[in-house]
């Protein structure tokens, strides 16, 4: 059983296709693992045991009938609880949606079902994806499998922790400011934020519409590519979805050839204020790329210093509007409806009880930023910064193929350390946020453990919009070089749970 | 209802100059909603025409209805507007239970159409140009039904029922620039503008624009200022004025009310007002001391709308004949004078006449019934002509019966009276009331013989060649048959009996 859960998604799919394993066996092994360790990790908010087994049986039946199977058929997946799943609870980590059973599947959910992927359940997250530690979940934090007293990152801490603790070989995340990449970095896993519009947002509960992007999480670059291909591509239900084929991510992940590629190190993302071990591992990664035949140059992106400020105006502004619909009228929590109170009072009481502190903070921030008289100074200026950041990227990509930086300034910090200091928490996403503002693609993958604390460090690779395949090419090369150097994947150094 | 002080209309206009702004919402007649595939059919079970998108369920996203955009452009072009090269939707944020997302997807500073005008013809034929500020796309809200209160308004209600079938139905909001210089004719201009706009919308085929069904709704903004002053006075905004007559009445009432407040030294409160059909009054609604802050921002879930110029030109070329030109053509076809055409328009009879013609009646008789008997009925009962309880098909049937000689005009009027009284179809009324023209020779023959016998002197005149005298005998026969005789046949019989060639 232990062997099954340590297989990559590609390996599992191959064994299921060849008949060496059944999808039910693979699913049961993961359900058993969840049973065994998730009480400690708390990666899942909901495990859909029956649904997962039914899907696995269907895959086995398909195979028995000689029907063709897709490249991920029968492989289990942990889904961030932000994607709607018909008949299966979807809470977005919030009390306000406790007990809500969506009547429809997100496009991503539909595509996974069509690809015969087995959805094990829904994973924990910061409420409405607002946070960097999963501590803002209304259902309690998730532990980092490397050290359960530390944060697993956020908002997609549940998905990353599920991967790192072998509860699933694949997971789904969403990345508004780093919610896929930062958890990947601090858990020693791989996470990709595709180009904005590359994966449908239909059925993905909105935090900040112009920044949100769903994407794949996995333990290897190839697995991430396989998942990316399964969920990506145009969706007529999402107007902002790009009407173009998915970039050739799987081929790129299989090639892993960076010879002759030009790689830019972003001057503004690194150095002072970054944990020494993070800087050290990042510098080693750059060395590795050079050794692999890439040409490395330093690139300056001067507007990046304003990224965090712009982000904390745009994201809260959009969220203040997106979250207005949670008013106790049509679904979810309803507080104080005793027949004497007005609709306004019930809405107010429900929002008071249903939203957590961070969500309220951002709603208030955004409401203020959009108010007449303040709009130009706040939302308007932030949009200008966004344009400047996009130009910095465009200019950089005139001379390099990809950019690299550390994914996060530090390794995983202890749970509770920053809960009362929102600003310190916001700084966690310093390196990831510019990518969301510009709509580019980026990946985080493990590049070693920081010597001072023995915790994983993430390398961020950034590609121009629609060139997601470059992430996989560079990622696969770095991954192969490190695994060769370490003698095994990084995760094998994680403590046994 | 509180009694509102009013100044007489004449006195009000003697001291003040009215400025109006009209905002008209038109529900488009697209088959599906503006941002999802749900049906827009009216009258379905509450909440049966909804989906995750128009219910605003978490995760749902909008997709723009291309026909909605096309309709908006057509309206813009017909209103002589410029069409935006590139424009965006915007979110208008405010909380209301019948609005699923608690923001309305609308347009803000980038409307699809702007800077146009509409020429409207007043009752005496004068043409007044109303400048159009903009026409923009948005979605309708759901519908709240407030239960348990006395007035049907939310105040005093015990609870409310929500129907989201209407949520997401495409709307075009058409906003005029301030209408200045209409003076004493301001209420008339308001009515004529809305009437012309309705005609135009119908001609474009983008909506049926039935005001009584809420497919077209009008808000009347009005302020007064002393003559010669440039600065506008404080305005009131009378919401949901939903018939042509009401538009005129609301404007008139507000002029009189504002004038009374101002002339007694008071100030007008900027507020919304409710209009009351029963007595044409308005009452205070929501006070708008400061402009409401809707926190507009560009809708990030939708991509900008950038209509290709070639497409816009294609739409322009495909515009149907516009109402004013069509009216001119019809007038020529019918060969009637300006003032006759104007009274057809003023009576709101044009479409009814055309519909009656479409049912087989000729133009003259269709016009005669609608402008005569039926217009009189509308006047007496204080309803609009279109609301008179008779259909064009029924009028056409009456007209056909007359043409076939089964009814004469007098009988036809009785048939119409029966239909209006709810006695059924024209043929049923004819049967039930026994209104058939008597052209049966044996029945008429006896009546003719009686008339000749009773009027020997006249009969002799006729025999002597004075055919004009026949009228008296025909009259006598008509009287004897209580008007049901076919006058033409009676004349033939009289002449035949007296041995005279007709």
SS3 A475: helix
A342 is catalytic: no
pLDDT band at B473 (very low <50, low <70, confident <90, very high): confident
Instruction: Report phi then psi at B279, rounded to 5.
Output: -125, 5
Compute CA A180 distance to the chain's CA centroid, rounded to the nearest angstrom: 2
Beta-carbon separation of A371 and B293 below 8 A: yes
Dihedral sign for Cα B153, B155, B160, B166, please. Answer: positive
Contact A156, A187 (CB under 8 A): no
- Residue B1's pLDDT is 41
- Rg of chain B (C-alpha set): 29
Domain edges within chain B: 9-307, 321-433, 441-497
Q: CA distances (Å), A468 to each of A177, A224, A226, A229, in order? A: 17, 12, 13, 11
Q: Is B95 on the interface with A (CB under 8 A)?
A: yes
Of A155, A200, A208, A303, which one is the catalytic site residue?
A155
Q: How far is B180 from chain A (nearest CA, A)?
A: 29
- Rounded Cα gap, residues A415 and B400, in angstroms: 89
pLDDT band at B121 (very low <50, low <70, confident <90, very high): confident
Judged against a pLDDT cut of 70, whether residue B289 lies above it is answered with no
Closest partner residue to B302 (CB to CB) among A90, A239, A327 is A239
Give pLDDT tens digits for A120-171: 999 999 999 999 999 999 999 999 999 999 999 999 999 999 999 999 999 9
Number of Cβ within 10 Å of residue B338's Cβ equals: 9
Give pLDDT tens digits for A348-357: 999 999 999 9
Beta-carbon separation of A321 and B301 below 8 A: no
- Rounded Cα gap, residues A244 and A237, in angstroms: 15
Most confident of A229-238, B325-334, B460-469: A229-238
Whether the ω angle into residue B247 lies within 30 degrees of 0, i.e. cis, is no
- Rounded Cα gap, residues B383 and B377, in angstroms: 8
Domain assignment of residue A401, yes or no:
no
Judged against a pLDDT cut of 60, whether residue A1 lies above it is answered with no
pLDDT band at A423 (very low <50, low <70, confident <90, very high): confident
Of A133, A179, A200, A241, which one is the catalytic site residue?
A179
Q: Is B100 on the interface with A (CB under 8 A)?
A: yes
Q: Please report, for the domain that includes residue A66, its CATH number.
A: 3.90.1300.10
Identify the weakest region by mean pLDDT among A77-91, A249-263, B80-94, B438-452.
B438-452
- Nearest residue on chain A to B98, judged by CA atoms? A329
Q: By percentage, how much of chain B surpasses pLDDT 70?
A: 98
Give pLDDT tens digits for A435-449: 999 999 999 999 999
Beta-carbon separation of B295 and A324 below 8 A: no
What is the length of chain B? 502
Q: Which residue has the tokens 């094998």?
A: A492
What is the length of chain A? 497
Give pLDDT tens digits for A356-366: 999 999 999 99
Dihedral sign for Cα A428, A432, A436, A441, please. Answer: negative
Query: Average pLDDT, stretch A328-345?
Result: 93
Quick one: tokens of A299? 């690139």
Give pLDDT tens digits for B54-84: 999 999 999 999 999 999 999 999 999 999 9
Domain assignment of residue A487, yes or no:
yes
Number of Cβ within 10 Å of residue B226's Cβ equals: 11
Domains: count for chain A:
1
- Sequence-distant (6+) residues with CB within 8 A of A192 are A180, A181, A215, A216, A217, A224, A228, A441, A442, A443, A444, A468, A471
Judged against a pLDDT cut of 80, whether residue B3 lies above it is answered with no
SS3 A354: helix
Judged against a pLDDT cut of 60, whether residue B2 lies above it is answered with no
**Using the 8-state DSSP alphabet, how is residue A232 labeled?**
B
Helices A221-231 and A107-114: angle between axes, nearest 10 degrees: 110
Q: Is B89 on the interface with A (CB under 8 A)?
A: no
- Nearest residue on chain B to A329, judged by CA atoms? B97
Give pLDDT tens digits for A229-255: 999 999 999 999 999 999 999 999 999
To test the contact with chain A by mutation, choose from B57, B59, B288 the residue with the greatest count of A C-beta atoms within 10 A, namely: B59
- Residue B439's pLDDT is 66
Beta bridge partners of A444: A191, A460
The DSSP bridge pattern shows strands B297-298 and A170-174 to be unpaired
Instruction: Report phi then psi at A366, rounded to 5.
Output: -70, -40
Q: Is A206 on the interface with B (CB under 8 A)?
A: yes
Contact A164, A144 (CB under 8 A): yes
- Sequence-distant (6+) residues with CB within 8 A of B146 are B152, B153, B154, B157, B159, B160
- Rounded Cα gap, residues A76 and B464, in angstroms: 115
Q: Which residue has the tokens 């099954």?
A: A4
Give pLDDT tens digits for B423-457: 999 999 998 888 877 767 777 888 888 888 888 88
- Nearest residue on chain A to B296, judged by CA atoms? A370
SS3 B217: strand
**Considering only residues 81 to 140 of chain A, which have any Cβ-Cβ distance to chain B shorter than 8 Å?**
83-84, 90, 92, 97, 100, 102-104, 106
Give pLDDT tens digits for B148-165: 877 777 777 888 899 999
**What DSSP element (H or E) covers A34?**
helix A23-41
Show residues of chain A in contact with B297, CB under 8 Å. 317-318, 321, 370, 375, 379
Instruction: Report phi then psi at A179, rounded to 5.
Output: -65, -10
The topology (CATH level 3) of B441-497 is Arc Repressor Mutant, subunit A (1.10.10)
Beta-carbon separation of B102 and A103 below 8 A: no
Beta-carbon separation of A206 and B59 below 8 A: yes
A80 is catalytic: yes
**What is the average pLDDT score of chain A?**
97
Beta-carbon separation of A103 and B162 below 8 A: no
SS3 A243: coil
Closest partner residue to A205 (CB to CB) among B59, B97, B293 is B59
First and final C-alpha spacing in chain A: 15
Quick one: tokens of B363? 């133009």
| Distinct helix (H) and strand (E) counts, chain A | 17, 11
Closest partner residue to A239 (CB to CB) among B64, B91, B162 is B64
Beta-carbon separation of A325 and B302 below 8 A: no
- Sequence-distant (6+) residues with CB within 8 A of A217 are A156, A159, A160, A163, A170, A171, A172, A173, A180, A183, A184, A189, A190, A191, A192, A224, A227
User: What is the residue range of A56's domain?
Assistant: 2-261+464-493
Q: Which residue has the tokens 């077209």?
A: B216
pLDDT band at B480 (very low <50, low <70, confident <90, very high): confident
- Sequence-distant (6+) residues with CB within 8 A of B256 are B6, B7, B8, B9, B12
**Considering only residues 248 to 287 of chain A, which have any Cβ-Cβ distance to chain B shorter than 8 Å?**
none
Beta bridge partners of A217: A171, A191
Query: Average pLDDT, stretch A321-341?
Result: 95
Identify which has the larger pLDDT, A287 or B42: A287
Domain assignment of residue A308, yes or no:
no
- Sequence-distant (6+) residues with CB within 8 A of B501 are B495
**Using the 8-state DSSP alphabet, how is residue A323 labeled?**
G
- Residue B481's pLDDT is 82
Q: Is A318 on the interface with B (CB under 8 A)?
A: yes
Instruction: Report phi then psi at B463, rounded to 5.
Output: -55, -35
Give pLDDT tens digits for A270-309: 888 899 999 999 999 999 999 999 999 999 999 999 999 9
- Residue A2's pLDDT is 54
Instruction: Report phi then psi at A112, rounded to 5.
Output: -65, -40
- Nearest residue on chain A to B298, judged by CA atoms? A318
A155 is catalytic: yes
Q: How far is A433 from chain B (nearest CA, A)?
A: 18
- Residue B421's pLDDT is 92
Q: Is A317 on the interface with B (CB under 8 A)?
A: yes
- Rounded Cα gap, residues A207 and A215, in angstroms: 15
Beta-carbon separation of B61 and A202 below 8 A: yes
Contact B459, B498 (CB under 8 A): yes
Q: Which residue has the tokens 């949520």?
A: B167
- Nearest residue on chain B to A90, judged by CA atoms? B58
Judged against a pLDDT cut of 70, whether residue A403 lies above it is answered with yes
Give pLDDT tens digits for A317-326: 999 999 999 9
Query: Average pLDDT, stretch A37-45?
Result: 98
């Amino acid at each position: 059983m232990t062997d099954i859960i340590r297989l990559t998604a590609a390996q599992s799919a191959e064994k299921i296709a060849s008949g060496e394993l059944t999808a039910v066996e693979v699913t049961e092994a993961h359900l058993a693992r969840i049973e065994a360790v998730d009480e400690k990790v708390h990666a899942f908010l909901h495990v859909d045991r029956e649904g997962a087994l039914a899907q696995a049986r269907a895959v086995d039946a398909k195979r028995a009938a000689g029907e063709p199977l897709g490249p991920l058929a029968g492989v289990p997946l942990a889904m961030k609880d932000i994607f709607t799943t018909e008949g299966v609870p979807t809470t977005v980590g919030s009390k306000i949606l406790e007990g809500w059973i969506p009547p429809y599947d997100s496009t991503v959910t539909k595509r996974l079902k069509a690809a015969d992927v087995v959805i094990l359940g829904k994973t924990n997250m910061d409420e409405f994806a607002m946070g960097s530690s999963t501590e803002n979940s209304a259902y309690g934090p998730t532990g980092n499998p490397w050290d359960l007293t530390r944060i697993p990152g956020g908002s997609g801490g549940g998905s990353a922790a599920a991967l790192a603790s072998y509860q699933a070989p694949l997971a789904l995340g969403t990345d508004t400011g780093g919610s896929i990449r930062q958890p990947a970095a601090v858990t020693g896993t791989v996470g990709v934020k595709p180009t904005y519009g590359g994966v449908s947002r239909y059925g993905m509960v909105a935090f900040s519409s112009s920044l949100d992007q769903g994407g794949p999480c996995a333990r290897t670059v190839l697995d991430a590519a396989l998942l990316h291909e399964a969920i990506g591509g145009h969706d007529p239900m999402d107007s902002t979805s790009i009407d173009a084929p998915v970039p050739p991510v799987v081929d790129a992940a299989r090639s892993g050839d960076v010879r002759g590629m030009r790689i830019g190190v972003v001057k503004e993302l690194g150095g002072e204020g970054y944990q020494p071990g993070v800087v050290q591992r990042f510098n080693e990664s750059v060395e590795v790329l050079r050794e692999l035949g890439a040409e490395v140059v330093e690139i300056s992106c001067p507007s990046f210093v304003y990224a965090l400020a712009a982000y904390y105006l745009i994201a809260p502004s959009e969220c203040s509007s997106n979250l207005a619909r949670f008013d106790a009228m049509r679904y979810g929590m309803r507080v104080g409806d005793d027949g004497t109170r007005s609709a306004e009072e019930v809405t107010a009481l429900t929002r008071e009880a249903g939203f957590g502190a961070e969500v309220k903070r951002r709603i208030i921030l955004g409401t203020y930023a959009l108010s007449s008289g303040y709009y130009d100074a706040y939302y308007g200026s932030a949009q200008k910064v966004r344009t400047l950041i996009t130009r910095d990227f465009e200019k950089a990509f005139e001379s390099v193929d990809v950019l690299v930086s550390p994914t996060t300034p530090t390794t995983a910090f202890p749970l509770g350390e920053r809960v009362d200091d929102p600003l310190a928490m916001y700084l966690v996403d310093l390196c990831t946020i510019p990518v969301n503002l510009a709509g580019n693609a980026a990946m985080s993958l493990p590049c070693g453990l920081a010597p001072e604390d023995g915790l994983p460090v993430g390398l961020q690779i950034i590609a121009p919009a629609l060139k997601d395949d470059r992430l996989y090419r560079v990622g696969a090369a770095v991954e192969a070089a490190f695994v060769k150097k370490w003698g095994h994947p990084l995760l094998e150094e994680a403590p046994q749970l | 209802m509180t009694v509102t002080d009013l100044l007489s209309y004449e006195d009000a206009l003697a001291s003040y100059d009215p400025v109006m702004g009209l905002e008209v919402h038109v529900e488009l007649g697209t088959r599906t909603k503006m941002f999802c595939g749900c049906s827009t059919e009216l009258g379905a079970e509450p909440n049966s025409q909804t989906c995750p998108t128009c219910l605003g369920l978490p995760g749902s996203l909008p997709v723009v209805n291309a026909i909605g955009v096309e309709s908006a452009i057509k309206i813009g072009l017909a209103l002589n507007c410029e069409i935006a090269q590139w424009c965006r939707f915007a979110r208008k944020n405010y909380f209301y239970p019948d609005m699923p997302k608690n923001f309305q997807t609308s347009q803000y500073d980038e409307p699809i159409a702007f800077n146009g005008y509409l020429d409207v013809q007043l009752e005496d034929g004068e043409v007044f140009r109303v400048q159009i500020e903009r026409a923009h796309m948005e979605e309708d809200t759901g519908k709240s039904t407030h239960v348990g209160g006395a007035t049907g308004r939310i105040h005093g209600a015990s609870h409310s029922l929500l129907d989201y079938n209407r949520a997401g139905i495409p709307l075009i909001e058409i906003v005029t620039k301030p209408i200045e210089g209409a003076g004493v004719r301001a209420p008339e201009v308001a009515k004529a503008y809305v009437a012309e706009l309705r005609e135009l919308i119908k001609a474009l085929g983008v909506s049926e624009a039935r005001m009584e069904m809420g497919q077209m709704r009008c808000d009347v903004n009005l302020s007064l200022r002393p003559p010669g002053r440039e600065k506008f006075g404080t305005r009131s905004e009378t919401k949901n004025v939903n018939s042509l007559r009401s538009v005129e009445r609301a404007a008139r009432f507000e002029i009189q009310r504002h004038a009374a407040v101002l002339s007694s030294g008071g100030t007008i409160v900027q507020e919304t007002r409710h209009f009351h059909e029963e007595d044409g009054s308005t009452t205070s609604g929501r006070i708008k001391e400061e402009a409401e802050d809707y926190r507009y921002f560009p809708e990030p879930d939708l991509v900008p709308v950038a209509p290709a110029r070639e497409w816009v030109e294609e739409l322009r070329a495909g515009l149907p004949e516009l109402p004013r030109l069509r009216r001119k053509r019809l007038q020529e076809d019918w060969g009637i004078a300006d003032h006759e055409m104007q009274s057809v328009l003023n009576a709101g009879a044009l479409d009814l006449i055309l519909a009656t013609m479409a049912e087989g009646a000729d133009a003259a008789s269709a016009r005669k019934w609608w402008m005569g008997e039926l217009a009189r009925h509308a006047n007496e009962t204080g309803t609009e002509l279109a609301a008179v309880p008779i259909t064009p098909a029924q009028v056409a049937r009456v007209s056909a019966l007359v043409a076939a000689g089964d009814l004469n005009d007098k009988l036809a009027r009785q048939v119409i009276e029966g239909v209006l009284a709810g006695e059924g179809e024209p043929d049923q009324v004819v049967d039930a009331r026994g209104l058939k023209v008597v052209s049966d020779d044996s029945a008429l023959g006896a009546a003719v013989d009686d008339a000749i016998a009773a009027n020997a002197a006249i009969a002799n005149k006729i025999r002597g060649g004075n055919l004009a005298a026949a009228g008296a005998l025909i009259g006598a026969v008509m009287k004897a048959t209580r008007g049901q005789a076919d006058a033409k046949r009676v004349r033939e019989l009289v002449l035949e009996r007296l041995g005279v060639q007709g």
